[in-house]
Amino acid sequence: MLQQRMGGDIMVNMNGFFRHFYTFGYWLAKMMILNICWIAFTLLGLGLFGIAPASLALTNIVHKWFAEGTEVPILKEFWSAYKKNFVKANGLFFVWILISLFLYMDYFISKNYIQSFYFHIILMLLIAISIASFAHFLIVFVRYELPFFHYFKQALLIALARPMETIAMFVSLIILYYLYSFLPVLTAFVGVSLTLYPILWFSYRACVSVEENKEKVEQKSKTPSFGKS
Does any domain span residue 50?
yes
Query: Domain residues for 156?
Result: 34-211
* Mean local confidence (pLDDT), 141-170: 94
What are the pLDDT digits (tens) for 79-101? 999 999 999 999 999 999 999 99
* Calpha distance 85→9 (Å, rounded): 52
Does any domain span residue 17?
no
Does any domain span residue 6?
no
Does any domain span residue 192?
yes
Does any domain span residue 81?
yes
Alpha-carbon Rg for the chain in angstroms:
22
Does any domain span residue 4?
no
Total number of domains constituting the chain? 1
* Calpha distance 50→42 (Å, rounded): 4
Maximal C-alpha separation, the chain: 83
Does any domain span residue 26?
no
Q: What is the DSSP track for the chain?
A: -HHHHHHHHHHHHHHHHHHHHHHHHHHHHHHHHHHHHHHHHHHHTTTTTTHHHHHHHHHHHHHHHHHH-----HHHHHHHHHHHHHHHHHHHHHHHHHHHHHHHHHHHHIIIII--HHHHHHHHHHHHHHHHHHHHHHHHHHH----TTHHHHHHHHHHHH-HHHHHHHHHHHHHHHHHHHH-THHHHHHHHHHHHHHHHHHHHHHHHHHHHHHHHHHHHHHS------
Specify whether the CB–CB gap between 99 and 127 falls below 8 A: no
* Calpha distance 74→58 (Å, rounded): 9
* Mean local confidence (pLDDT), 57-86: 93
Task: Give the chain's mean pLDDT.
Answer: 88
* Mean local confidence (pLDDT), 216-220: 81
Question: How many angstroms from the chain centroid is the CA of residue 118?
Answer: 32
Query: For position 223, what pLDDT does the model report?
Result: 64
Does any domain span residue 162?
yes
Q: Residue 145 pLDDT > 70, yes or no? A: yes
Q: Residue 72 pLDDT > 60, yes or no? A: yes
